Structure 1
Amino acid sequence: MEINYETIGRFAIIALLFIIIFNILAILIGIYNIRRKKILFPKFVLFILYLFYAPLKYIFSTFSMNEQLVDEILVEIQNAVALDKFKKKNDRKILLLPQCLRNSRCRARCDPLYGFVCTGCGQCDIGQICEEAKARDFKVFVIPGGSFVRKIFTEYKPTSCIGVACPVELSESLQKTSMIPAQGVYLANDGCFETKVNVDDIIRKMEQTVLTSTQTILPNAQTDLTNTKNILSSTQTMLPTVPAWANPGDE
């Protein structure tokens, strides 16, 4: 059987053109989503960018473009897609912090399950973050590596998660933790050593679940109050009227 290489070549070129078009379209939609704060075709964008993640990063790097743009698009879309479910989770919430946030003089011990146990020495932002997280019912884990994430998910069984990392790590981590609603927060700088994070960004993420919980409780409380008033009114209506002659004070 004779192989028609010309036909195969044509199909290959057409397929390559479609791949290029889909990638360009996914990038453009992703940029639009970030700038306009609107989410269009999220599943399509995520599928294309994750499928051609390595080639896209290579192309961006080759043409001296910001290759982190691919990761930022992935993170922002993942955040938007999971946000509604994330807001509804009010128990077993966790906050994952990278160990690179620690000060170089940190003396915290590393627990085999929970990671580094912050002592609140004040040499980095982790102590403040832990206090803010505790006030909002978030469990904080300062993790040395990805293997700890698997341990935490297995042992602690969280229902929602906030992760702090660089865009590259976040895009990968959010994909791996897609079984629960998660939100990503960028580090302010890279380098894997004494990095920084905007604490207010983390607080805003945590507040999203706190505000939702409060908004849920208030209507329920108002409903209970209304029901109580209705019961009291019904009770008063059912009580028999006391005749005037039976009231000694009227004599």
Structure 2
Amino acid sequence: MIIPYEFIGKVAVYFSLIIFLILLIAMGLGAYSFKKKKIIFPNVVLFILDLLYSPAKQICRIFSIRSTIIDEIQIEIRNAVNLDKFIAQKKDKALIGPQCMRHPECKARCDPIRGYKCLGCGKCDYTFIKKACDKYGYKLYIIPGGSFVKKIMKVDKPKVAFGIACFNELNESMRDLSPIVPVQGVPLTRDGCFNTAVNVDDVVEKMRLCSDDV
């Protein structure tokens, strides 16, 4: 039996080109939606970017585009897609943030399920975020790792989840949780392993927009 290597090679090339074209279209639609704040075919764009996440990142690197733009696009689309269902939920709301935003002298102890409980000492932004959580009906979780998200969802069973994290971790968490509960997210403005930061005004404003007080 003669194996048609040339034919197989052509099929592989054409298939790769089609996938590349589909990915470029999805990235273009996502970028347009992100820039214009007008979501076009959100579920299609999310499906393609989720499926071809690594190639999309690689394309960004090839063309010297910051690769976090893929995460930003997906976060914004998921925020828009989930917004109405998120607002409709009036209780059992969770705000989950990273422990790397804590002050180095933080005295809070870590619960094995719910993470750190903010003491409101005023040394980091969590003091202000906690006050907003109390005002708008959120329970604040400050966690040392992504595994705590699963524990919180299993034990406390919040009805909605608001996340703060670096771009890729926030995108991943929103992707995993959105089939279970409505989600919203605000990415860090400075990431890393410690001394990270978020725009607190953006966090509080999103909580306000998703509350009964609007």
TM category, shorter: over 0.9
CA contact (8 A) 1:87 1:209 kept: yes
Q: The residue matched to 1:196 in structure 2 has which SS?
A: coil
Which 5+ residue runs of structure 1 have no aligned equivalent? Answer: 216-251
The match for 2:134 is 134
Q: The residue matched to 1:191 in structure 2 has which SS?
A: coil
TM-score (norm: length of structure 1): 0.82
Which 5+ residue runs of structure 2 have no aligned equivalent? Answer: none
Please list, as runs of the form range in 1=range in 2, the aligned pairs for 1:21-40 lying within 5 A after superposition. 21-40=21-40
Q: 1:209: Cα distance to partner? A: 2.9
Higher relative contact order (CA 8 A, sep 6+): 2
Distance in 1 separating the partners of 2:200 and 2:171: 20
Distance in 1 separating the partners of 2:54 and 2:210: 34
Q: 1:208: Cα distance to partner? A: 2.4
Identity of aligned residues (%): 46
Q: 1:64: Cα distance to partner? A: 2.7
CA contact (8 A) 1:89 1:209 kept: no
Q: 1:174: Cα distance to partner? A: 0.4
Larger Rg: 1
Please list, as runs of the form range in 1=range in 2, the aligned pairs for 1:1-251 lying within 5 A after superposition. 1-178=1-178, 179-211=180-212
Distance in 2 separating the partners of 1:61 and 1:28: 16
Greater share of helix: 1
Q: 1:63: Cα distance to partner? A: 3.6
Q: 1:185: Cα distance to partner? A: 0.3
Q: The residue matched to 2:210 in structure 1 has which SS?
A: helix
TM-score (norm: length of structure 2): 0.95
Q: The residue matched to 1:184 in structure 2 has which SS?
A: strand
> Residue by residue, what CA displacement relative to the aligned partner does 1:70-111 show, whole Å, maximum 9, x if unpaired?
111111111111111111011100000110110111111111
Paired letter, 2:173 = S
Q: 1:135: Cα distance to partner? A: 1.2
The match for 1:219 is none
CA contact (8 A) 1:95 1:140 kept: yes
Distance in 2 separating the partners of 1:95 and 1:35: 26
Aligned residue-pair number: 213
CA contact (8 A) 1:163 1:185 kept: yes
